[in-house]
Amino acid sequence: MSLIDTTPSTPGKFKSEKCTPYSAHPFYRNLRFQSSLLKLTVWSSSFLGLILLFFLISSPPSSHHHGRRSTEIDVGTKWETKVRTSAETRARADGGKPLRVLVTGAAGFVGTHVALALKLRGDGVVGLDSFNHYYDPELKIARQKFLANAGVCVIEGDINDEKLLKRLFDVVHFTHVVHLAAQAGVRYAMENPGSYVKSNVAGFVNLLEVCKSADPQPAIVWASSSSVYGTNTKVPFSEKDRTDHPASLYAATKKAGEAIAHTYNHIYGLSITGLRFFTVYGPWGRPDMAYFFFTKDILKGKEITIYETSRGESVARDFTYIDDVVKGCLAALDTANKSTGSGGKKRGPAQLRIFNLGNTKPVPVSRLVSILEEHLKVNARKKVLPLPSNGDVEFTHANISLAQTELGYRPTIDLETGMKQFVWWYLNYYDRSRKN
Ligand SMILES: NC(=O)c1ccc[n+]([C@@H]2O[C@H](COP(=O)([O-])OP(=O)(O)OC[C@H]3O[C@@H](n4cnc5c(N)ncnc54)[C@H](O)[C@@H]3O)[C@@H](O)[C@H]2O)c1
């Protein structure tokens, strides 16, 4: 029998114990008093134990990657100064009012580019990233150093860490949040589904909770994904199309994010803009994406797999160059209205938007491989297989007319030009890493 089984479950149960006639005797009264005292002690210690256990379980995970210190230890005067300095603004060359922006996922691929572009034009930027091990954390650390040279500090921490987020909002009155932290990747969801729920659902809610309580409330721009179009066959994909057939858990969590964004906009007056990115690529890219690992494997002489659809066509993607996506993100920030609430209370209707950010020119993956072969000056060893049903869709194609009208978004980089930039970066980066 466990301790819990032998002790009362609630104080009420302990008090309401009935007296029997012999219990009126002083001996029994004394015995009963002692036994009650013992029960009370046992009960209180198990209660305290349970509270302690609850805090241990619910406390945010500390990050100890590469012997790096956890945020709990980092938070101090020096930490505050670092955050404040990073959030300092300058007069913007374009005459715009400088923003103070929290960029989550700033050590990630898109986050690094967005944080840099904001800093370069005069905005104050603070980055946040968990530096998780989904792909090589050394690449994330290198991006962090790259941003540090530009004056952007990327704090190591999790978006699920409410205390840390509140502290950041205490130190800096962020006008905007660019939320890019997420568990990305479609296939990995079959291996580690929990990481998608933790970062893309629970983490997003935690961030929105802190944003809604902040005074002033920031306006939020966040990354959804083209994957919400799932198994749709009508092309190009328009924001007006249905998005209730996700083909992967990743897509389902992004779709959930869009529903969650609606709720926080509706109840708390948060201004929220969701951006559905279409296969973003470029320098400092993501090693789990095909263009990246194809490059690595082609250089190694390793065979690569190209998938084809049930109709025998190569899978196609609306590849979008990182600089075009960054322009779209900045335009979304500049056109975002202020949130209408403050301190957790809505004061009026707030802006809620969703935009496709794609290139509108889908390219078959077989063509991507030819472009890489040209730039790398190496022939690839290829095998062609039918697309497995592991979450990937057969094609993506964005209709960007809404982003064109509302954000002035006009992608300009084609796949040949963009891949040349990527290959140049890849060869330099890995050559330098080898020498160091
Ligand atoms: N790159 C694309 O083609 C693409 C396409 C569609 C959508 N997106 C979305 O754009 C955003 C950025 O993507 P990316 O390509 O830069 O991916 P990325 O993996 O390079 O960047 C995401 C970053 O978030 C961090 N992160 C993950 N969980 C976190 C958490 N709980 N707390 C703090 N940090 C956390 C990771 O460490 C990583 O550095 C993501 O939301 C992604 O889902 C990307």
152 and 106 in contact (C-beta within 8 Å)? yes
Cα separation, 51 vs 363, whole angstroms: 56
Residue 156 in contact with ligand 1 by CB distance below 6 A: no
How far apart are the CA of 134 and the centre of ligand 1, in A? Answer: 10
pLDDT for the residue numbered 203: 98
pLDDT for the residue numbered 49: 46
Q: What atom in ligand 1 is closest to the CA of residue 280?
A: 3
Q: Which of 277, 284, 322, 422 to mutate to test the pocket of ligand 1 (most atoms within 8 A of CB)?
A: 277
Residue nearest atom 31 in ligand 1 by C-alpha distance: 199
How far apart are the CA of 35 and the centre of ligand 1, in A? Answer: 58
How far apart are the CA of 257 and the centre of ligand 1, in A? Answer: 14
Q: What angle do CA 421, 424, 428 make, to 5 degrees?
A: 140
Q: Which of 65, 109, 156 to mutate to test the pocket of ligand 1 (most atoms within 8 A of CB)?
A: 109
Q: Which of 104, 130, 368 to mutate to test the pocket of ligand 1 (most atoms within 8 A of CB)?
A: 130
181 and 161 in contact (C-beta within 8 Å)? no
* CATH number corresponding to 182-278+321-358+395-412: 3.40.50.720
Residue nearest atom 21 in ligand 1 by C-alpha distance: 108
102 and 78 in contact (C-beta within 8 Å)? no
Of 250, 264, 281, 426, the active-site residue reads: 250
- Residue for token digits 């969701």? 274
Q: What is the pTM of this model?
A: 0.85
Residue 396 in contact with ligand 1 by CB distance below 6 A: no
Residue nearest atom 44 in ligand 1 by C-alpha distance: 277
Grouped pLDDT means (10 residues each) for the chain, 436 residues: 29 28 36 43 48 39 42 74 98 94 98 98 98 98 98 98 97 98 96 98 98 96 98 95 96 98 98 98 98 98 95 94 98 98 90 98 97 98 92 92 98 98 97 71
> 250 catalytic, yes or no?
yes
